Structure 1
């Protein structure tokens, strides 16, 4: 398979919140980028396919990535979005890239969230991933090293990453094999070095978190012909909390004037709960308590059905958690969204077909005031994210 430089930037993501984050990070916003669900394609400089494989069996994930690669055209550049906490089917999905003729340079590092890679080990807030609490809601145990998550791969240390000529040579060799390289990375400057060294290397795909996507985006100026920002207004806002992360509890508590519905997970898994339409600021969340990971997909689907059934008016949506966001869009019957801007890191404002605004955000992102900032940005013209470059809020 031939992989030339130029053409579209195509990304493949395993969940919806990561797909939206990637579309913004790659540097083309508004109507010139699109996140696509299911088997559709799109004409835009940046196209991100959400293959929705985070919780899928490895064989299903590999098949979904294969289908997405079937929509990659000669001349497109490829980025594979992976989770910065190494969740999901990384080994199966990266193996699919090499089977299709791509060499891969990979790092899950996300320095802005204090997730770095040293000597092949992912550290979260200074603690090795395997010794942290980051996988507390997962069914499996976290990998000890990045290579444990990726499969067969060669490690490039920081000295190599910070040597431009040597890094370029390693990337060129990996593309010709094809092989997988795992890169140590501690800073945004390291991410920039990886993106620069990979630029124009035929047959090389980059794989990483939104941090590496942002480094790729920094190589290309944002065009001036952005779509006009939607007018902010005092619209109802429906917040759907599809995450078990403890920080989400405090984020909800800091929402002044919100009506909060804590819903029984059993009732959600059975198909959903009947609620009145949102009026003002309304929050739907699973009742606090440890959720059995085996029930999580059914609970996410029930939460989505509950939200959409209540969504009879022009309310804006805020959805925490990639799987829940995907289920919400499926329940709404939409197959794409247009990312417009970033309220804070990972909190992406998008427009759905028909004009409804939706903010998606990974469950593990954001400080205690994340939801308050998101709601304020939706309602206040001066802080509306689509009216200014992403990342400035």
Structure 2
């Protein structure tokens, strides 16, 4: 008799089916095979005591500081843990409780109903001379040649932009941005490349976004995160998806001492606000894509925290995009010029996929396609 450890909670149903368990048993037992952890910040002491008792009664647990029982403070941080089944029961129970537990229950409920999306690769084409990675800079015909190459290498989406957003970069006028992009957009339409991949316009200029959407682009990639509602209206009118990215400040100021009270919660609050704004325009959550904005107004520590908690942002029900391709955070961990940061890029992107991201924005399509295929083969392989 031998034993080995299983460390694939996403494959729990597959494991039980391989054992030829009863169908109803698969549904019940799979919910017992995964423990979820949630940090709750600044919880009123009354709520902590009620939640502690209710969690214990269901077989779950709430870890709290020793002072909670004696109410020595008014608010505490805590860690809630339990299986999806236990926490589902807890959600229903807390909806009738005071001290803000009803609101907490609704937030917890959003984490228990996540959806999975097929992984997609987004190739990057920059029609400018100052993007931080020289290998992504193209003009007119060379841009179209690069697009064809990315499609052949397996890109699902091509993200085309005419203005650099690297730290310290300066904005350009709409006329100049259009001058850079119109020839590329027109060639994409003329060569019917929309039949081979989806195209995203990386811009926050209404005139540029409108031109791209009029000519077949179907995604708006907005680094300002819907600061200008006109962009959302354009996306809605053309049936386009919308990427809401978080950025603290502007490209000119974003890396000047970025600060957060708690980067995960602050970015979460930003997404909640912008999703509400998008929904008022008429965009559904299936049309909204979230990007935490690695390197956009974040220190290395902020970036690592966001990557570690990438799965957190799936609770909105939107797809999550990761874009850390060759960025300076890799250099800060292991010094290397931008041309030598592909290994670090792959490490970040594969780990982000494992933690819930489904769209990978990158410069190296071929290498990402191979890495993702190997990663998925491991995840989908037999367990027994």
User: Is this a same-fold pair by TM over 0.5?
Assistant: no
Compare relative contact order (CA 8 Å, sep 6+) and give the higher one, 1 or 2: 1
The TM-score normalised by the length of structure 2 is 0.29
More helix by share: 2
More strand by share: 1
